Structure 1
Amino acid sequence: MWRKRAVGWLIISFMGLCLLLGRLIQLQLISTEHFTDREINLLEASVSQRSQEMVIDTGRGNFLDRNGNPLTHENIPVLILFPFLAKMDWDVAQVSKITGASEYSLRYSVEKAKEPFAFGSPKPLQLTEEQMEKINALKIPGVFAVKKKYNLLENPAAQLIGITGQNQNLLKERYPEKELSINTMVGLTGMEKSFDEFLLPEGASKLVYHVDATGGPLFGINVKYVEPANPFYPVNIKTTLDYDMQMMAEDLADQHGIKRGGIVLLDIETNSVLAMVSRPSINKSAPFDKDNGGTANHMIKQQIMGSVFKTVVAAAAIDHGLDDPARQFDCSKKINGQPDTKYQHGMLNFNDSFARSCNNTFATVAKELKDINPDLLEEYAESLALIGPVSWQGDIYHFNNFKQLQDEEKGRVFLSGEAKKDSNFVGLTGIGQHEVRATPLAVANMMATIARGGTKEMVRVASEIEYKNSTSLLEFKEQKMEGNTIAPYTAMKLQKLLREVVINEEGTGKWFKDLPYEVAGKSGTAETGRIVDGKQLHNKWFAGYFPYKNPKYALVAVNLGVTEDTGGVNPLFADMVKGIYNLNHNEEDPSLGSTES
Structure 2
Amino acid sequence: MHKRRMIIVATILMVLIITLVGRLVQIQLVATESFSKHHVNLIEASVKQRSQVLKIDDGRGKFYDRNGQPLAHEEIPTLVLFPFLSKMTWPADEVARIIGSSEQALITAVANAKEPFAFGGDTPIQLSLSQSKAINELKIPGVFAVNQKIYGEDRLAAQLIGTTVKSDALKLERYPDLNLSPETRIGDKGLQRTFDEFLLSEGESKLVFHVDASGGPLFGVDVKYVEPANPLYPVKVITTIDKEIQEKAEALVDQYKITNGGLVLLDIEKSEIVAMVSRPALKKDDPNGIGSVNMMATQKTPGSVFKTITAAAAIDYGVISSSRMFNCDLTIEGKVDQQRPLGMLNFKDSFAQSCNRTFAELATEIAEENPNFLEEYAKKLGIIGQVGWSGDVYHTQVTQLYREQSGKVWHEQALKKDKKMIAKTAIGQQDVQTTPLAMANMMATIARGGKKEQVKAVSKVEFNNGTTVVDFPNQKIEGENISPYTTIKLQQLLRGVVTEEKGTGALLQNLPYEVAGKSGTAQTNLETGKLNKWFAGYFPYKEPKYALVTVSLDTTEQSSGMTPLFADVVKVIHQLDSQ
Same fold (TM over 0.5): yes
Tell me the CA shift for residue 98 of structure 1: 2.3
Alpha-carbon offset, residue 154 of structure 1: 2.6
Shift of residue 153, structure 1, vs aligned partner: 3.7
Residue 530 to residue 184, structure 1, CA distance change in 2 (3 Å): farther
Question: 2:243, 2:477 → 1: CA distance?
Answer: 27
Sort the Cα spacing of 1:223 and 1:235 in 2 relative to 1 into closer, same or farther, 3 A. Answer: same
Q: Secondary structure at the match of 1:198?
A: helix
Residues in 2 aligned to 1:437 and 1:408: alpha-carbon distance in whole angstroms: 13
How many angstroms apart in 1 are the aligned matches of 2:20 and 2:411? Answer: 66
1:318 aligns with 2:311: no
Q: Distance in 1 between matches of 2:462 and 2:549?
A: 30
Q: Match for residue 542 of structure 1?
A: 535
Q: Aligned pair 1:558/2:555, yes or no? A: no
Question: Take 2:109 and 2:17, find their aligned partners in 1: how far apart are those partners?
Answer: 49
Q: Which amino acid aligns with 2:539?
A: F
How far residue 345 of structure 1 moved from its aligned partner, in angstroms, is: 1.6
- The 5 Å alignment of 1:142-291 reads 142-290=142-290
- Structure 2 SS opposite 1:470: coil
Aligned pairs, number: 579
Task: Choose the corresponding residue for 2:467, options 465, 471, 485.
Answer: 471
Q: Deviations over 1:258-316 (max 9, x none)?
A: 111111110100110111111121222333343xxx21111111111000111111111
Does residue 582 of the first structure (1) align with residue 579 of the second (2)?
no
Aligned match of 2:498: 502
Question: 2:561 corresponds to which residue?
Answer: 568
Equivalent residue letter for 2:333: N
Q: Which residue of 2 aligns with 1:523?
A: 519
Following the alignment from structure 1 to structure 2, what is the Cα–Cα distance between the partners of residues 103 and 583? 43
- Match of 1:88? 88
Kindly state the Cα deviation for residue 350 of structure 1 after the two structures are TM-superposed. Answer: 1.7
* Matched residue type, 1:340: D
Q: Given the alignment of the two structures, is residue 335 of structure 1 paired with residue 332 of structure 2, yes or no? A: yes
Question: Residue type of the partner of 2:281?
Answer: S
Aligned residue identity for 1:299? M
Which runs of structure 2 are paired with 1:448-459 in the superposition (5 Å)?
448-459=444-455
Q: Does the CA contact (< 8 Å) of 2:153 and 2:284 recur in 1?
A: no
Aligned to 1:589: none
The offset of 1:332, in angstroms, is 0.8
In structure 1, give the amino acid aligned to 2:570.
V
Structure 1 Cα separation of the partners of residues 432 and 366 of structure 2: 16
Other-structure match for 1:430: 426
Deviation at 1:182, TM superposition (A): 1.1
Q: Deviations over 1:340-370 (max 9, x none)?
A: 1122222222222111111111112222222
Residues of 2 paired with 1:115 and 1:487: CA distance? Answer: 67
1:56-75 to structure 2, matched below 5 A, reads 56-75=56-75
Task: Give me the whole-angstrom Cα distance separating, in 2, the residues matched to 1:531 and 1:239.
Answer: 42
1:390: Cα distance to partner?
Answer: 0.5
TM-score w.r.t. the length of structure 2 is: 0.97
Q: Compute the displacement of 1:446 (Å).
A: 0.4
Q: Which residue does the alignment assign to 1:349?
A: 346
Q: Measure the CA separation in 2 of the matches of 1:420 and 1:567.
A: 34
Q: What is the match of residue 136 of structure 1?
A: 136
| Aligned amino acid, residue 384 of structure 2 | I
Structure 1 gap ranges (5+):
587-597
Letter aligned with residue 29 of structure 1: L
Q: Displacement, 1:125?
A: 2.3
State the SS of the aligned residue for 1:405.
coil
Give the TM-score normalised by structure 1.
0.94
C-alpha distance in structure 2 between counterparts of 1:40 and 1:502, whole Å: 65
The Cα shift of 1:548 comes to: 1.1
Q: Deviations over 1:222-242 (max 9, x none)?
A: 111100011111111101111
Match of 2:35 in 1: 35
- More moved, 182-191 vs 388-397: 182-191
- Mark the CA change 1:34 to 1:359 in structure 2 (over 3 Å): closer, same or farther: same
Aligned residue for 2:544, secondary structure, equals coil
Q: What is the alpha-carbon distance in structure 2 between the residues aligned to residue 198 and residue 152 of structure 1? A: 22
Distance of 2:73 and 2:324 partners within structure 1? 59
Once the 2 structures are TM-superposed, how far is the Cα of residue 398 of structure 1 from its aligned partner?
Answer: 4.6
The secondary structure found in structure 2 opposite 1:554 is strand
Measured in 2, the distance between the counterparts of 1:505 and 1:477 equals 42
Residues of 1 paired with 2:175 and 2:162: CA distance? Answer: 20
Q: Partners of 2:419 and 2:315 in 1: how far apart?
A: 20
Output one character per residue of 1:371-414: Cα deviation in whole Å (capped at 9) or x when no partner: 11221111110110111210001011252x21111221110000
CA distance in 1, matches of 2:134, 2:246: 38
- Answer whether contact 2:231 2:464 (CA < 8 A) is retained: yes
Unaligned regions of 5+ residues in structure 2, if any?
none
Per mean C-alpha deviation after superposition, the further-off stretch among 568-577 and 126-135 is 126-135
Amino acid at match of 1:563: T
Q: Deviations over 1:118-154 (max 9, x none)?
A: 1122221222222222222222211112111111343
Alpha-carbon distance, 1:14 to partner: 2.4
Stretch of structure 1 that moved more, 281-290 or 204-213: 281-290
Residue 454 of structure 1: how far off its partner (Å): 0.8
1:24 to partner: Cα distance: 2.1
Separation in structure 2 between the aligned mates of residue 531 and residue 206 of structure 1, nearest angstrom: 58
After TM superposition, the structure 1 stretch with the greater mean CA deviation from structure 2, 316-325 or 203-212, is 316-325
Which amino acid letter does the alignment assign opposite residue 312 of structure 1? I
Residue range with higher mean Cα deviation, 113-122 or 36-45: 36-45
| CA-to-aligned-CA distance 1:319-345 (integer Å, 9 cap, x gap) | 111122222221111111111112222
Cα distance change on mapping 1:192 and 1:23 into 2, 3 Å? same
Counterpart for residue 412 of structure 1: 408
| Matches of 1:196 and 1:114, distance apart in 2 | 35
For residues 397-439 of structure 1, give each alpha carbon's deviation from its aligned partner in whole angstroms, at most 9, with x where no partner exists.
252x211112211100001111222222111101100110000
Please report how far the alpha carbon of residue 92 of structure 1 lies from its aligned counterpart in structure 2 after TM superposition: 2.1
Write out aligned runs for 1:387-402 (5 A): 387-399=384-396, 401-402=397-398
Deviation at 1:530, TM superposition (A): 5.4
Q: Which moved more, 1:237-246 or 1:430-439?
A: 237-246
Equivalent position SS for 1:169? helix
**Partner SS, residue 418 of structure 1:** helix
| RMSD, matched Cα | 1.5
Report which stretch shifted further, 185-194 or 521-530: 185-194
The equivalent of 2:436 in structure 1 is 440
Alignment-derived partner of residue 593 in structure 1: none
Alpha-carbon distance in 2 for matches of 1:470, 1:498 = 43
Q: Deviations over 1:210-257 (max 9, x none)?
A: 122222222222111100011111111101111121112111111222
Q: 1:486: which partner in 2? A: 482
Q: Distance in 2 between matches of 1:530 and 1:113?
A: 61
Moved over 6 A (4+): none
Report SS of the residue matched to 2:110: helix
Structure 2 Cα separation of the partners of residues 61 and 38 of structure 1: 27
Paired with 1:547 and 1:237, the residues of 2 have a C-alpha distance of: 30
Q: Partner letter of residue 487 of structure 1?
A: S
Task: State the 1:105 CA deviation.
Answer: 1.5
SS of residue matched to 1:575 = helix
Structure 1 CA distance for aligned equivalents of residues 282 and 200 of structure 2: 23
Aligned AA for 2:200? L
Aligned residue in 2 for 1:592: none
